[in-house]
Structure 1
Amino acid sequence: MSDTRVEHLTTSGVFTLDGGSWEVDNNVWLVGDDDEVVVIDAPHDPAAIVEAVDGRRVVAVLCTHGHNDHVNAAPAVAEATGAPILLHPEDRVLWDMTHPDRAPDGELADGQSLKVGGTELTVLHTPGHAPGAVCLYAPDLGVLFSGDTLFQGGPGATGRSYSDFPTIVESIRRRLLSLPEETVVNTGHGDSTTIGAEAPHLQEWLYRGQ
Structure 2
Amino acid sequence: MSGAFRVEQTVTSGTFSLDGGTFDVDNNVWVLGDDDECLVVDPAHDLDAVAFLVGARTVAAVVCTHAHDDHCRYAPAAGARFGAPVLLHPADEPVWRLTHGDLRWDADLADGDVLRVAGEEVRVVHTPGHSPGSVCLHVPALHTVLSGDTLFQGGPGATGRSFSDRPTIEASIRSRLFALPDDTVVRTGHGDSTTIGAEAAALGR
TM-score calculated relative to the size of structure 2: 0.97
Q: Which amino acid aligns with 1:53?
A: V
SS at match of 1:140: helix
Match for residue 4 of structure 1?
5
Match for residue 37 of structure 1?
38
TM-score calculated relative to the size of structure 1: 0.94
Shift of 1:201: 2.1
Output the CA distance in 1 between the equivalents of 2:159 and 2:181: 26
Shift of 1:2: 7.0
Output the CA distance in 2 between the equivalents of 1:47 and 1:202: 37
Output the CA distance in 1 between the equivalents of 2:126 and 2:77: 26
Q: Which amino acid aligns with 1:145?
A: L
Say whether the 8 Å CA contact 2:62–2:84 is kept in structure 1: yes
Output the CA distance in 2 between the equivalents of 1:102 and 1:60: 18
Q: Aligned runs of 1:148-163 on 2, under 5 Å? A: 148-163=149-164
Match for residue 96 of structure 2?
95
Output the CA distance in 2 between the equivalents of 1:96 and 1:55: 32
Runs of 4+ with >2 A deviation: none
Q: Which amino acid aligns with 1:156?
A: G
Shift of 1:99: 1.1
Q: Deviations over 1:152-193 (max 9, x none)?
A: 010000000000000000000000001000000000000000
Q: Aligned runs of 1:41-60 on 2, under 5 Å? A: 41-60=42-61
Output the CA distance in 2 between the equivalents of 1:74 and 1:15: 14
Q: Specify every segment of 5 or more residues in structure 1 that has no aligned partner in the other structure, as ranges.
A: none
Using the TM superposition, name which of 167-176 and 2-11 deviates more: 2-11
Shift of 1:3: 1.2
Task: Output the aligned Cα RMSD.
Answer: 1.2
Q: How many aligned positions are there?
A: 204
Output the CA distance in 2 between the equivalents of 1:28 and 1:57: 17
Say whether the 8 Å CA contact 1:150–1:172 is kept in structure 2: yes
Q: Specify every segment of 5 or more residues in structure 2 that has no aligned partner in the other structure, as ranges.
A: none
Match for residue 134 of structure 2?
133
| Identical columns (%) | 59
